[in-house]
Every structure is written in C-alpha cells, then in structure tokens.
Structure 1
Amino acid sequence: MDVARSIPIFILAGLCEIGGGYLVWLWLKEGKPWWFGLLGGLALACYGIVATWQTSNFARVYATYGGFFIVMSILWSMKFDNYSPDKYDIVGALVALLGVCIIYYAPRS
C-alpha cells in the first residue's frame, strides 16, 4: 500500500465519521435542528464508502483506521469542544497510531 495514498484516505474517513457522529451528537444531545442529524447520517454513510477506497483487506483497513480515529477524535475535540488532552491521552494516542501503522505498513512477503 502506498503510504502517500492511504493516509489521506484514512484522514478523509475520519473526518466523515467523526464529523458525522458529532453532528448527530449535537442534534440528539444538544437540541440542534433535525437537519444536523440528517447531515450527520449522510457523513457517516460517506465514511463507509471512503473506507473502501483503501487497497488492503477489511481487517487491516479497519484496525488501522482505529488508530487514526483515536488521534483525530482528540484533535477534533480540541478544536470543536475545547478539550485539553493530558500527557496520557497524547502518549496513548501515539502508541495506538504507531501500532496500527505497523499492522498496515509493515512489509510482508
């Protein structure tokens, strides 16, 4: 898998899933209009499509996406929810990302 091609796909998938989930959260938990939920649902459906653009198998794609999701969720909440991660959040996220990158990008014969 070409790293330069796969990372933007993981990031786009994360934006679709996290953004979609956040819109649904705002609709149901914070009383935003119904169309927040509709847009969130559409974004979540797009996430399912974007993930298929990866060239590896389902298991590796979704396992690896999990690490990207962790990092992106922290970044999203810092930007949109005034969240301040502590050192354990940061170290844990980086360990997860490193682990999934080993799973996905390790050379195999």
Structure 2
Amino acid sequence: MDLARTFALFVLTALSEIVGCYLPYLWLRQGRSAWLLVPAAFSLAAFAWLWLVDAVRPTLADWIGVAVSLLGMLIIVFGPRPA
C-alpha cells in the first residue's frame, strides 16, 4: 500500500507542478486569458505544500534554493531582450 500511496503522491505532485507552470506560459506566450493565473497559483500552492503529507519541513538550504530560483526568474523576466 505504501508504494501505491507514494506513486499517487508523486503523480499528484508532478501534475500540480506542470499545470502551475504551463498555465502562466499560455498566458505569457500564447496570449491567453490572465485568469489562467488563478488556477496556476492554486496548483503551485498545492505543489509547494504537499510536503505536509510527508511531514518533512523545508530546511534553510531549501529556502535559499527558493530565493535563488526566484532571483533567476526575475533576471530572466526583466533582463534585456534583443530586438
């Protein structure tokens, strides 16, 4: 039963992450409705808080990794673009 539970959580986590990243892509690059950001936010929130299921608290290194990732995203989004 543990294997089935683990597999189901893995699938749920993967789908939450994929949906949470794909919907903003549709809005940003495909010109779709900004309303797609709402389910994307919920999906990413579900992805981020699935650690509660395993009762594993994020470490300092996890939080630093999040900060570095967000900084990288800001550099990509607001960096100069060739014409």
TM-score (norm 2): 0.58
Larger RCO: 1 or 2 (CA < 8 Å, sep 6+)? 1
Aligned-residue sequence identity (percent) comes to 31
- Show the counterpart of 1:45: 45
- Show the counterpart of 1:20: 20
Q: Kindly report structure 1 stretches of 4+ aligned residues shifted beyond 2 Å.
A: 54-59
Deviation at 1:54, TM superposition (A): 2.7
Question: Relative to 1, partners in 2 of residues 1:51 and 1:15: Cα closer, same or farther, differing over 3 Å?
Answer: farther
Count of aligned positions: 59
The answer (yes or no) to whether the contact 2:20–2:40 under 8 Å persists in 1 is yes
Deviation at 1:34, TM superposition (A): 0.8
Deviation at 1:51, TM superposition (A): 3.6
Question: Relative to 1, partners in 2 of residues 1:14 and 1:31: Cα closer, same or farther, differing over 3 Å?
Answer: same
Amino acid in structure 1 at the alignment position of 2:20: G
Distance 1:23 1:34 in 2: 9
Structure 1, unpaired ranges of 5+: 60-109
Q: CA RMSD in A?
A: 2.2
Amino acid in structure 2 at the alignment position of 1:42: F
- Show the counterpart of 1:32: 32
Amino acid in structure 2 at the alignment position of 1:26: L
TM-score (norm 1): 0.46
Question: Relative to 1, partners in 2 of residues 1:11 and 1:40: Cα closer, same or farther, differing over 3 Å?
Answer: same
Amino acid in structure 1 at the alignment position of 2:26: L
